[in-house]
Structures are given as C-alpha cells and as structure tokens.
Amino acid sequence: MSEHVHIRVGNGTGFITLDRPRALNSLSLDMVRAMTAALLAWRDDHDVAAVVVRSTSEKALCAGGDIRFFHDAGRATPQGGSALLEDFFTEEYALNHLIHCYPKPYIALMDGVVMGGGMGIAQGGPRCAVRIVTNRTKMAMPEVNIGLFPDVGGSHFLSRAPGSLGVYLGLTGLTIGAADALYVGLADHYVPDTELAALSDLIGSTSGGGLREAVATFARPLRAGAGDSPLLAHRALIERHFGHASVPDIMASLRDDDDPFARQALGAMEQRSPLMMCVTLELLKRGARLGVADCLRMERTVVRRTFEHGEVLEGVRALVIDKDNAPRWNPPALADVTDAMVAQLFEPAWPDHAHPLRHL
C-alpha cells in the first residue's frame, strides 16, 4: 500500500483519500496500486455500495502522473524503456479502465487542480460517474505542454465532448473551470467550497446505497452558482477553427482571427510540441470510433512510442527539471511534421496477444 493513499470503509461507502499535498497528489506507481487494490476488493463486496475519491488538500484532487519520475526513469534507459515506467503506464491505464467500468457509484470530488492523470481517476463511465466540481476546480488535459498527448482515456472522453470542444481542450491544453466542465460533460454536479463541509457530512451520514441520489439532491439547487460557461459563449468560434481536419489548418484559421479567445488559443498552441499536437488530433479521430478499452490500448502503444522518440523527456526537462521553458521540440516546427512521423507513433509495439492491456 501507499503512504499517500488512505483507504477505509464506513457506512457502506469505500473512501479513497489522496494525501500527497506537496506534489498536488501526483500519482506514483504505489498510489496507482493502492487505488487499484481497494477498488478490486470493493467491486464484489456487498458491504460496499459506493466509492468516494477525494483529497486531504483543497489545492488539488490530483495534478496528474509524477512527471519527474517519468523523466528520471525514461532517461535511465531512454531507448529500451524503464521497467518501472512500463509498469506505471500499464497499471495506470488498467486503473482508468477499472474506474470507467466500475459497477457501483464512483464519486469524485474534483476540488482544486484536476489534470492529466487526475482526470483519469475522476472520469468514471456513464453507469458509475458522480463527478463533483467546485469554484476552485482547475481542470485540464495539458499533456501537449510536456511533449505527451491526452492519455488516461483522454482519447475516449475528449473525443466524445460536444462538437470540437475536445479537440480544443486537447490541442491547447488550457485550463477550464466548473462551468466549462459541466458544459463539456466532464462533470455532473457543482458544489461551492462554502458547502463542502455540509457535503462531507452528508456523505458520511448517508449509506452507500443512497449516496448517488443524496448527492444529486444536495447539489441540484447549487448548480446555477457555477456561472456561465466561457466555452459556451465561444462555441461558434471554437467550431469555426477547431473543426478543421489538420493542426496546420486549425492554426492558420486562428491566425486570421483577432478575437482575444482565438489569440489565447493560438498562443498556447505555438508553445506546444508540434508533433504531439498532430498525434493528439489523430488520437481523437481514432478514439471517436473506439470503445474505452481499445482507446486505452491505443494510448498504451502511443505512450511507449513517445518515450522511445524522446519528446516527452525533453518537455519534462524544460518544464520541470531545468525550468527554462524552452523545449527543443523534435521536429521544431509544425511544417516539419509529416504524416509518416505521426503514423510511426501508432505502430504496434507488441503483437496483439502480448499487448500489456490485452485483457481489458
């Protein structure tokens, strides 16, 4: 088990509490394993009727995977890949699948930062998801900023966002708040921070079997407090630009628009990995046609290829290790990215019978 994950059962509810505040609950392999073990134990336990995932800190539910670990493990054996790195992504994606398909209500308190891997442990499937955002929620899939792509099931849940909203979120990596999360379909309920203590009391005093409806009833009158969605206000602009079929066409379209929202999106994309933006767009196109298990298997292949390429190692170096914010992307310019480069990252890394996620 992990010292950073507290597990307990009370009143028919299993509680998973993340407690790694200095790292904004960034997921380690031990944390992934602790969560997986608890969820597997409770899946067929008739004494546990619901699960709650939360944090000890108001700053974050989870800021993602431990990218410093990614860098150190990847650099140790950059060509063949680290065994621990391989284990991390295989087990993290298996956890994402377990959560998506969980047979009991899975209540995620998405207070504070919820990004990358944090989204993977919060985005339950339609049968189980009870996703709560607050006025402090800062949600994003920012992987293109570190030379990666929206993984942890992002190819599934972003590709199913309305219209081109998932493409916008995946390519820009920009942060959204509660109103946008609700509008995009990445959250179900809004509860302001002033009501979180009351929500906690409700969760503690309600039996697990009645928790889904109790939370919905509690949150229903609070929803208007989330405010208006900026993405809704700019929906026509997003569709006009992000509906194009290629990243170069999207960016060319944005360059012709002086709207501040378009300028912000373009400015963000100009800082991202050109290769990984193109990979992300292809990933979302493919993911729209796949079920969640196949999406995760595809992502597992692409993440293996991405570490072999080295783009993510450079991105983490620039953002976290050296902190120079000057990544040397390969290739450095969007015009240099070819279809063959993108396709190479989707090439199978294992035969089907040996894929690490073949049993999903």
Give, rounded to a whole angstrom, the gap between the first and last alpha carbons of the chain. 23
CA 345 to chain CA centroid, Å, is 20
d(CA 70, CA 321) in angstroms, rounded, equals 11
Short-list 342, 318, 344, 341, CA closest to 329: 318
Which residues are known to be catalytic? 65, 117, 143, 151
Residue 122 CA to chain centroid, in angstroms?
A: 8
Q: DSSP for 116-175?
A: THHHHTT---TTTEEEEE-TT-EEE--GGGGT----TTHHHHTTTSSTTHHHHHHHH---
DSSP string for residues in 298-324: HHHHHHHHHHHHTHHHHHHIIIIIS--
Rounded to an integer, what distance in angstroms lies between the CA atom of residue 183 and that of residue 185?
A: 5
Nearest to 40 by CA among 7, 84, 72, 63: 7
Looking up tokens 């602790």 gives 34
Sign of CA dihedral 280, 285, 291, 297: negative
Closest CA to 107 of 253, 239, 212: 212
